[in-house]
Amino acid sequence: MVFNDLMSYNSKIFIINGPNLNLLGKREPEHYGNKTLNDIKENCIKYVAKKNIELIFEQSNDESVIIEMIQTASDSDGIIINAGAYTHTSIAIHDALKSSNSPAIEVHLSNIHKREEFRHKSYISGVVDGIIIGLGDQGYILAIDAVTKIMNERVS
């Protein structure tokens, strides 16, 4: 756990990663880059090192586990979600995010709108506070800043 002057001691950001993201670095590097999910996690941990935020960085190939993670976040916690392929298929994840009062940012490493047609539809976009698409692993850092800003605004 690491701290910053702006956030309260128990502030948390859940970074939730969906199916096949455990294969980053090996899977389709032309779309996702060469960094592994662990590389991205370490970069996020370094980034929040001087902030008063507990970072919970998880990945699951199981839709129900992702839903449980969303439901675990309290109203004062932030959510960053890269739901992978579930972005385009999961009404259940949509409903979990819609039911949550946590600020949430959707992240995609690649520009889903420049890819196959089936990737253009996101069931998540309509129920999150913002979307970061196509900026590679830098999207996670931008999402941390965005969700932190929303969390701070809610406290003030």
Which residues have a catalytic role annotated?
32, 108
The amino acid at 73: A
73, 12 in Cβ contact below 8 A? yes
- What token pair was written down for 87? 């972005």
DSSP sequence for 70-98: HHHS-TTSEEEEE-GGGGGT-HHHHHHHH
Q: CB-side exposure of 135: number of CA atoms within 13 Å? A: 11
